[in-house]
A = this chain, B = another copy of it.
Amino acid sequence: MTALEKLQKKQNDGFHICVGLDSDLSKIPPHLKKSSAPLLAFNKTIIEATRDIAAAYKINLAFYEKEGKKGIGALEETLNLLPADTLIIGDAKKGDIGNTSRMYASSLFEHFKFDASTLHPYMGYDSVQPFLDYKDKLNFMLVLTSNPGNKDFEKIKTEDGKFLYQVILNKVNDWNDSKNCGIVFGATNPGELKENLNSFKDLPVLLPGVGSQGGNLEEVTEIFESAGNTNYLVNVSRALIYADSSENFGRKTSEKLTEMNKTVKRIISNYK
């Protein structure tokens, strides 16, 4: 199965929530800290609790790199636990010259065997091309991010009156010949989402910002479904994996994800 096929299968079954494994040693339930591999123990419980109800998983590499060799070991073992039929996104926001980009693509796709990447497109086509050479993978390019600093450059107006992020969005459509591009588009501003929806075309949209960053799941789902676009993936990290800090944290995460899935399915059913 290609990355796109894995994603579409889940979307067809009404799953649109991506579980963000931003697993942070300082935030995991206290009882796990006695474990010899606390991050891995935490991930194992979260994965078991969500494997049949997650549309995808997004692993934020920062949280593993931070622990050096040990963290990378936890990452490698975590990847072995994830369900093979589910899209696994390696969120490392890479972007470098071709020669180096080839190394990063090889690292993410061959060493770690992720299904998908997130990329900084700022350096232009040849910086992302080594990733696009992997036809069966998906590459989510940063278009509009969910942080306050998006105003500094992403929302600069270019000569022809478009925002920079819109110029990038159009360019990513041009790069999508092999149907292995997607975009990252912040879920924190519904107006911007509506305004750009027609330009998403057949690009899968990864939406960060729901939960801890203030984006609203119902609103975002409504915008997509009402427009007949089902090619979206709402990432939820902290609000989901740290839903509870007791020994039952897995069950609480599962309940919370089930509840979110119900919200999404209710909206979907309104447009069927």
A residues near B (Cβ < 8 Å) are 22, 24, 60, 62-63, 65-69, 72-73, 76, 93-101, 103-104, 106-107, 111-112, 120-127, 142, 145-154, 156-159, 161, 164, 167-168, 171, 208, 213
Contacts and interface: CB of A to CB of B under 8 A. Distances in A.
A106 B71 CA distance: 13
A123 B68 contact: no
B164 A149 contact: no
Nearest to A122: B122
B111 A68 contact: yes
Contacts of A66: 103-104, 106-107, 111
A171 B152 contact: yes
A104 B127 CA distance: 21
Given A62-B96, A63-B103, A145-B97, A154 B122 contact: yes
A152 B164 contact: no
A150 B164 contact: no
A24 B168 CA distance: 32
14 contacts: A62-B104, A65-B104, A68-B72, A69-B69, A97-B145, A98-B147, A122-B122, A122-B154, A123-B147, A124-B147, A124-B154, A156-B167, A158-B159, A159-B159
B125 A149 contact: yes
